[in-house]
Structure 1
């Protein structure tokens, strides 16, 4: 029985380890956000359909701000359309805390007053019929 309802939301939080930085300035590649979208989409399908589902496509992926090692991210997924077997979801990655390490304070970090939208996308997932 399908219990998928438009407006259903899933939220994850994740710390970005320094081992994931690939570029100068401790930048993390954009694929990192897409992997996180896969994680929240999987939970969404489990919650709404009792199955992990399979990602079919992304649309309108936007990399808006950098993600860096030491960041704390909030990843959201909202169900926006329900078909017979397809589920269309909106995704967002927000930076909610940012590493501020220095030699004097190697573990320093700052909770941001306003989260920064780093990545957004729309995706389609299919579930068994």
Structure 2
């Protein structure tokens, strides 16, 4: 992360030896494209009215049949420094956390727990606590 591999062995990563990771990334992108354009009926996402009310308290409009609110995920959102900062630091934290935890939330929760791995249980508990703190403490502070 940001050149940390030059100073700390833990962050050294050789892409040439791990080419399969690129196949996973391209597969995820391709899978999302296929799901939206060929497997969707176009009706959009149905959201619980209570969730819409909670979003409104944070000044976030309902997605109105889209995957996410335009104020957060539309191109106009990139015009504000606040949104760019959130995306930048969020991306750094996700990348660092994934590398530090030795995998992503889905990998630990699905593969790790099904193999009864104690590190995955600890990671999933940490992800869950972090998600609760983010949703109930930090998100209202960020979007007020």
Q: Please report the TM-score for the alignment, with normalisation by the length of structure 2.
A: 0.23
Tell me which protein shows more helix as a share of its residues: 2
Higher relative contact order (CA 8 A, sep 6+): 1
Q: Higher Cα Rg: structure 1 or 2?
A: 2
Q: Please report the TM-score for the alignment, with normalisation by the length of structure 1.
A: 0.24
